[in-house]
Each structure stands twice: as structure tokens, then as C-alpha cells.
Amino acid sequence: MIYIHIPISWDNPEMDRLDLFCSTLKTLQIKNKKVFIHCAKNYRVSIFMYHYKKNILKDKSAKLILPKGFKPNKTWRKIIHQDIYKKTNKLNLEWVYNSDDINWNELSNLYKIAPLGDKKPNDLNTVFTNSIFKCFVYLDEVLIGVGRALADGFDCSYICDVAIHPDYQSKGIGKAIVNELIKLSQGHNKIILYSNPGKEQFYSKLGFDTMNTAMAIFKNKEQALEYKLTRKVQYK
């Protein structure tokens, strides 16, 4: 019996490790060898084997059974949904521009998991109904992206509440939604927004400049300070 050691980080598995795991298994399988797989943490081998069966052996009955209590982080989710990630550009997205048939509970859940805060279904109904522009993006009838803009029809359009389902982030969908809202806002003198701290570069890449004098009155001033949306400045 030979022993093959493939070191794999528990929290940040690299794709080349997955490829090495699969090619090793495939080679041994071709040679008709019996393979025993040992893993100190079961979820790693569960996910890798699931990927191997589903995407390499094309076994449609492949099932992923994860240990109880294990919540895959973003990197693990990418491996689990790798077939979807590989098809990024082929995703058959459906775009909806009105809120007539929106399931507000589904939308509320999307914000929770994106995450973009705890937004109540009824409040979402109010703010989306009152927003002139809105985009909802569906994949296989599941809501995976959203954004809206409040606009006055001439001077100013304010883009907000942009969020993408965590399994579909970094695939260009957020960019597509903001570009769509920019397009819908065409003709306005200005399109404004405020970014969550850390997301400034995302908007900067889409053409937004940083404003010098933006100000706000938040209902919950303390929270806005805590989330670093505002800062205290003493004007003389």
C-alpha cells in the first residue's frame, strides 16, 4: 500500500489541492487500485469527494452530506458550487424591473444572508414600492441579486440596497445591477450613494467619485457611528 499525503487548509482550501486530489484519485482509479481516504476533519473529504463524483465522474446521484453544525465558508461554498461558478458567464439570469410579484420574505432573507442587515418584509415593500427604479435578479426562480434607486426624475438619483446572494458574489452580478441602475438613472444631474465601509472600491470601479461634503441624519446616530457610516466632526 502506498500513502499519498495531500495537505489541505481547513478554512482556506486552494483550488490546486482540489485538482491534485481529483487527478490522484482518477489515476488510481484507472489503475484499478483500492483507495482509502483519511481526513482529520470529515467535511474536507465529504466536499472533495462530492466534487469528484459530481464534476469529474459526472455522477448525477452524487450527494453532499456534511457533518452536523458545519457551515461552509465562502471558499468551501465555491468548491461545493464549482459547477455553477465555472458557468458564470452562462448563468441564465432573469431580470425583473417591477416589484409587483416580489416575495418580500425572500428579499428580506437575501439581505440577511448577503449580508446587508435585518430588513423587515413590510418595510421592504414600502421602500421598493416608493423607489422609481429597481432590479431583481433571479436564477432558476431564486432571487440572487437586488438593487434600487430613489430618483426625482431630473436632478438626483440615489442608489441603495444593492446585495447579492453569497453563493453568487464576485461573478459580476453586483456590477451588472449597479450599471443597470446607472442606465435607468440616465438624464439625472447626479447619481449618488453611500457605500458600506470596505465596499468603496466596488463603486469606484463603476465610476463613482468620492464626495467631499456628503452628510446625513441617521435615525440611529449611534449605530451609524458604530458602523463607521458617519464620523464626528466639530465645525467652528
Ligand X SMILES: CC(C)(COP(=O)(O)OP(=O)(O)OC[C@H]1O[C@@H](n2cnc3c(N)ncnc32)[C@H](O)[C@@H]1OP(=O)(O)O)[C@@H](O)C(=O)NCCC(=O)NCCS
| Least separation in angstroms between CB 19 and ligand X | 23
Side-chain half-sphere exposure of 128, counting CA atoms within 13 A: 25
C-alpha cell at 115: 449580508
| Least separation in angstroms between CB 175 and ligand X | 3
DSSP per position, 96-142: E---TT--HHHHHHHHHHTT-----HHHHHHHHHT-SEEEEEEETTE
100/209 with CB nearer ligand X: 209
Rounded CA gap, 45 and 62, in Å? 14
The interface mask with ligand X, positions 74-103, x = CB under 6 A, is ------------------------------
151 contacts: CB under 8 Å, gap ≥ 6 = 131, 132, 133, 157, 158, 185, 188
79/144 with CB nearer ligand X: 144
**Residues 107-136 interacting with ligand X (rule: CB under 6 A):** 114, 116
Query: Please, are residues 173 and 145 in contact by the beta-carbon 8 Å criterion?
Result: yes
Residue with cell 464534476: 55
**Residues 148-207 interacting with ligand X (rule: CB under 6 A):** 162-164, 169-175, 195-196, 198-199, 201-202, 205
115/187 with CB nearer ligand X: 115
- Residue number of the CB closest to ligand X reads 174
| Least separation in angstroms between CB 181 and ligand X | 12
68 contacts: CB under 8 Å, gap ≥ 6 = none
13/174 with CB nearer ligand X: 174
| Least separation in angstroms between CB 194 and ligand X | 7
| Least separation in angstroms between CB 97 and ligand X | 18
Residues making up the chain, counted from first to last: 236
**Binding residues for ligand X (CB under 6 A):** 114, 116, 162-164, 169-175, 195-196, 198-199, 201-202, 205
